[in-house]
Amino acid sequence: MIGMIGLVGGLILLTILVMRGMNLLVVAPLSALFVALLNGVPLFPQMTINEEVDFVTGYMNGFAGFITSWYLMFLAGAIFGKVMEDSGAADSVSEWILSKLGREKAVLAIIIACAILTYGGVSLFVVAFAVYPMAVSLFKEANFPRRFIPAALAFGSTTFTMTSAGSPEIQNWIPIPYLNTSPYAAWQVSLIVAVFMMIIGYLWLMWMIKRAVSKGEFFIERETDHREERSHLPNPILSVIPLLSVLIVSYIFHERFEQYALILALTSGILFTWLLNRKYFRDFWTAVGEGTEGAIIAIGNTAAVVGFGGVAKITPAFDKAVTALTDLPGNPLIGGAFAIMIIAGLTGSSSGGQTIALPILGPHYLDMGVNAEALHRTVALSSGTLDSLPHGGYAVTTIRSIAGETHKDAYPAFGAMTVLVPILGVLLALVLFSFGIGM
Angle at Cα 185 formed by Cα 183 and Cα 190, nearest 5°? 100
Nearest by Cα to 429 from 194, 202, 201, 204? 194
Cβ 171 vs Cβ 162: under 8 Å = yes
State the pLDDT at residue 439: 66
Q: How far apart are CA 337 and CA 346, in angstroms?
A: 14
Tell me how many helices (H) and strands (E) the chain has.
20, 0
The number of beta carbons lying within 10 Å of the beta carbon of residue 100 is 10
Average pLDDT over residues 14-40: 88
The answer for residues whose C-beta is within 8 angstroms of residue 334's C-beta and 6 or more apart is 328, 430
Average pLDDT over residues 427-436: 94
Q: What is the mean pLDDT of the chain?
A: 86
Q: What is the CA radius of gyration of the chain?
A: 22
Query: Exposed/middle/buried for 137, CB within 10 Å: 0-12, 13-18, 19+?
Result: buried
Distance, C-alpha 133 to centroid of its chain: 17
More reliable by pLDDT, 132 or 147:
147
pLDDT band at 381 (very low <50, low <70, confident <90, very high): very high
377 secondary structure, DSSP code: H
Nearest by Cα to 163 from 127, 126, 124, 203? 124
Average pLDDT over residues 5-21: 86
Which phi and psi angles does 89 have, rounded to 5°? -65, -40
pLDDT digits (tens, 9 = 90+) for 261-277: 778 888 998 999 999 99
User: Which of 114-123, 297-306, 422-431 shows the lowest per-residue confidence on average (mean pLDDT)?
Assistant: 114-123
Query: Is pLDDT at 334 greater than 80 in this prediction?
Result: yes
Query: Is pLDDT at 382 greater than 90 in this prediction?
Result: yes
Q: How far apart are CA 279 and CA 296, in angstroms?
A: 28
Provide the 3-class DSSP secondary structure of residue 174.
coil
User: Which of 353-367, 382-396, 398-412 shows the lowest per-residue confidence on average (mean pLDDT)?
Assistant: 353-367
Q: How far apart are CA 16 and CA 408, in angstroms?
A: 11
Q: How far apart are CA 87 and CA 287, in angstroms?
A: 9
Query: Is pLDDT at 396 greater than 60 in this prediction?
Result: yes
pLDDT band at 19 (very low <50, low <70, confident <90, very high): confident
Average pLDDT over residues 312-333: 80
Helix locations, 316-399, DSSP H = 316-326, 332-347, 350-367, 372-383, 393-396
Distance, C-alpha 360 to centroid of its chain: 25
State the pLDDT at residue 177: 86
pLDDT digits (tens, 9 = 90+) for 80-122: 888 888 888 877 877 787 678 776 788 998 998 888 877 766 6
State the pLDDT at residue 82: 84
What's the pTM?
0.78
420 secondary structure, DSSP code: I
pLDDT digits (tens, 9 = 90+) for 168-223: 777 888 888 889 888 889 999 999 999 999 999 999 999 999 999 999 999 988 87
| Identity of the residue numbered 151 | A
- For 68-124, the DSSP string reads HHHHHHHHHHHHHHHHHHHTTHHHHHHHHHHHHH-GGGHHHHHHHHHHHHHHTT--H
